[in-house]
Amino acid sequence: MKIGELAARANLSASAIRYYEKLGLLAAPQRIGGQRRYPSGALQRVLLVRFATDMGFTLSEIKLFLNGLGDHIPVGPRWRKLASRKLVEVKQNISRSLKLKSLLQGLLRCHCASLEFCVTRLSLSSNLRGLSRSNR
């Protein structure tokens, strides 16, 4: 499989594939005439990476539990640790977003002339602060 086909099947771009390789998320494949030729297993690997990024892991986190360079903790516990950390983040994000939602709904129901009034009237100061402001 050439890079274009792999990219198409994984629904991302060829340059993204090369980028994953450079980051060490994907093994450098055999080459024919300088061009990359992938075994079918590569697709599964790429899809796993996509899946993990969709779950909110960063590429360097993914690298950690895919080929765990750096420390000597085995894959299982390492993944488990990262995943439970991520779970906390996700939960925080949920509660933050729920707050946000009712806040926005409140502001939309409000008929103040200016936003400043709304904000002070509804005294929505900032119970928003300090919650993980990024699920990516």
Residue 32 binding partner per list DNA, a second copy, none, with a CB distance cut-off of 5 to 8 Å that depends on partner kind: DNA
Under the binding rule (CB under 7 A), the answer on residue 60 touching DNA is yes
Under the binding rule (CB under 7 A), the answer on residue 12 touching DNA is yes
Minimum Å distance from CB 17 to DNA?
A: 8
36 vs 45, beta carbon nearer a second copy: 45
Beta carbons within 8 Å of 16's beta carbon, 6+ residues apart: 7
Dig out the tokens for 83 from the structure.
Answer: 């995943």
d(C-alpha 135, C-alpha 49), whole Å: 17
Residue 70: which region, alpha, beta or left (left: phi > 0; alpha: psi -120 to 50)? Answer: left
Residue 4 binding partner per list a second copy, DNA, none, with a CB distance cut-off of 5 to 8 Å that depends on partner kind: DNA
Under the binding rule (CB under 7 A), the answer on residue 93 touching DNA is no
Under the binding rule (CB under 8 A), the answer on residue 128 touching a second copy is yes
Under the binding rule (CB under 8 A), the answer on residue 69 touching a second copy is no
Please provide the DSSP assignment of 44-95 as one string.
HHHHHHHHHHHTT--HHHHHHHHH--SS---HHHHHHHHHHHHHHHHHHHHH
Under the binding rule (CB under 8 A), the answer on residue 123 touching a second copy is no
- With beta carbons less than 8 A apart as the criterion, state whether 26 and 45 touch: yes
Residues lying near DNA in the complex (CB under 7 A) are found at 2-5, 7, 12-16, 18-19, 31-36, 53, 58-60, 136
